[in-house]
Amino acid sequence: MSNVKLNDKFMWGGAIAAYQAEGGWNVDDKGYSNWDHFSNSDNNPFNINNVSGNDATDFYHHYKEDIKLLAEGGHNSFRFSLSWTRIIPEGVGKRSAAGIAFYNDVINTCLKYGLEPNVTIHHYDIPQKFEDEFGGWKDKRLIDYYFDYAKVCLEEFGDRVKLWTTLNEPRFYSYCGYVMGNWPPHKHKDLQSYWETVYNQLIASAKVVKYFKENNYEGYIGIVHDHGTVEVSPETRDKEYVYNHAELFFNSLVLDMCAKGKIPTNLEKFLKESGYDTSFINYQDENLLKEGIVDFLGINSYQRFYVTDSTGETIVTHNNTGKKSNEKESIKLKDWFDITEPEHVSRNFWGREVYPEAIYKGIKDVSEKYPGFPIVITENGHAVYDTPDETGYVEDDDRIEVLQQFVDYVLKARDDGYDVQGYFVWSAFDVWSWVNGYVKRYGLIRVDENDNFKRIPKKSFYWFKDIIKTNQITL
């Protein structure tokens, strides 16, 4: 256990992200983001399901009702993100009074209902302008723009928000944007940009953490990583090689930089061996990284990575169409590793393995490699096709069955002495899924986009309420 107590009580809550929940994409003076661009470009070839997050689930107009409902569900905290272009419409410079007023009211409403706000400064949405002008996170200029934006967030909301995270899943963001290509800026198998953009985000994060500490903000600041334990299949020839490469790719680049304040020792070596340009790595950055070590680690836990020897060219697959496709979420990375198929795998309709033990293994792995950091499960969830009855009620027993196992493993991890201080289900209520829109749902509360975004608690909402009631834990 660490000496840090992020809250008085274990945090039970739900999570959402600005672009996926808010809607109101062009209200007041809100600026234009990369995801607004995704939704509003005519005939966007990358928008394969032809979805638009313009209205998302209209949190912008429903937040009071939503937060009240979460409190009724027994939640004592709420994770949400801030939209850069709602706060600073042009990305840099003038602040939007309307945007700031909105978030002030969200925060104040949380506090009124006894929900600790757990605020993420950046959850995938950047001003489109920076994507157009210089290629977004590819360019180190974004580090300073992001830093200026983060300072505004701390200045405006830091008197009441005590739990911050700088970035949501820098690795997965870069993976989908530059390797998979299903998210903006839609580059495919551009591994060079993958490494560079993860690196740049981690430098940006460290700048904010350092600033937070230097300015004695009250509370704690962390980062959110999409963690999955790397498991090497038994028939693998060179187990150590495969493990080290996969661990660097999936976890240690992010975690070493933010928790050890170090560039992973094998980063430059492995990249050089594979012919990458490593000039973006600057060991002088370690001075900043050391001063920008986080207070806690936010772990989004959905899966593990089961790997074996590389068998050939890089192949990346993803299932963006649900049960219409048999495609699995997978990568074979030339000369590094292949994701392979463990036996008896159960998968969701979008081809992702459903493996609840991953959450326990993840907590253990991170605690052992990065001792002393409290862990918060900042996301965990299960996507299904929800079928409401005529009243809009959803009996989501399938979701409950999976989430129950995940929660049991989190509680077991605590019992076994691991310092887990919170669990946030993805998602608090239905939100817009990045490329699957309203089809792929995770929420414990149904949002009916065809009926004025009406909110109807699902069976899982009551299940979670019960879990919370019977597991009140003082930290």
Residues that bind ligand BG6 in the complex, under the rule CB under 6 A: 17, 20, 168-169, 172, 226, 300, 379, 383, 426, 433-434, 440
CA distances from 128 to 69, 136, 182, 307, 343 (A): 34, 8, 17, 36, 43
Of 154, 138, 141, 166, the residue nearest 289 (C-alpha): 166
Assess contact for 96 and 89: CB atoms under 8 A.
Answer: yes
Q: Render the burial of 430-466: b for 16+ CB within 10 Å, e for the rest.
A: bbbbbbbbbbbbbbbbbbebeeebebbbbebbebbbe
Identify the H or E element spanning 378: strand 375-379
Of 79 and 210, CB closest to ligand BG6: 79
Nearer to ligand BG6, 96 or 378 (CB): 378
CB 227 within 8 A of CB 366: yes
Q: What is the Cα–Cα distance from 257 to 263, expressed in whole angstroms?
A: 5
CA distance 305 to 228: 6
| Nearest CB to ligand BG6, comparing residues 57 and 168 | 168
Residue the block writes with tokens 């409190």: 71
Indicate the residue among 280 and 434 with the shorter CB distance to ligand BG6: 434
Residue whose CB is less far from ligand BG6, 17 or 87: 17
In the complex, the smallest distance separating the C-beta of residue 169 from ligand BG6, rounded to whole angstroms, is 5
Give the single-character DSSP code of 419.
-
Is 286 an annotated catalytic residue? no
β-pairing verdict for 220-225 and 116-122: unpaired
CA dist 313 and 333 (Å) reads 7
> Does residue 218 have an active-site annotation?
no
Query: What residues does 437 pair with on adjacent strands?
Result: 433
CB of 250 to ligand BG6, least distance (A): 13
User: Which one is catalytic: 116, 196, 231, 379?
Assistant: 379
Comparing CA positions, the residue from 218, 197, 219, 221 lying closest to residue 208 is: 221
The b/e string for 334-351 (b: 16+ C-beta within 10 A; e otherwise) is: eebbbbbeeeeeebbbbb
Nearer to ligand BG6, 300 or 421 (CB): 300
Q: Minimum distance between the CB of residue 425 and ligand BG6, rounded to whole angstroms?
A: 11
According to DSSP, the residues that pair with 291 across neighbouring strands are none
Which residue's CB is nearer to ligand BG6, number 242 or number 375? 375
C-beta of 449: minimal distance to ligand BG6 in Å? 15
Dist CA 230 CA 233 (whole Å): 10
Q: Which of 22, 169, 329, 353 is catalytic?
A: 169
Shortest spacing between CB 433 and ligand BG6, in angstroms: 3
Place of tokens 């505004």: 152
For residue 240, which phi and psi values (nearest 5 degrees)? Answer: -65, -45
Q: Alpha-carbon distance 95 to 97, whole Å?
A: 6
Shortest distance, position 380 Cβ to ligand BG6, whole Å: 10
CA angle 172, 364, 336 (to 5 degrees): 45
Q: Give the residue at shortest CB distance from ligand BG6.
A: 433
| Closest distance to ligand BG6 from the beta carbon of 222 (Å) | 15
d(CA 289, CA 326): 42
Nearer to ligand BG6, 167 or 271 (CB): 167
Query: HSE on the CB side for 442, CA within 13 Å?
Result: 26
Cβ of residue 112: shortest distance to ligand BG6, in angstroms?
A: 26
Active site residues: 169, 379
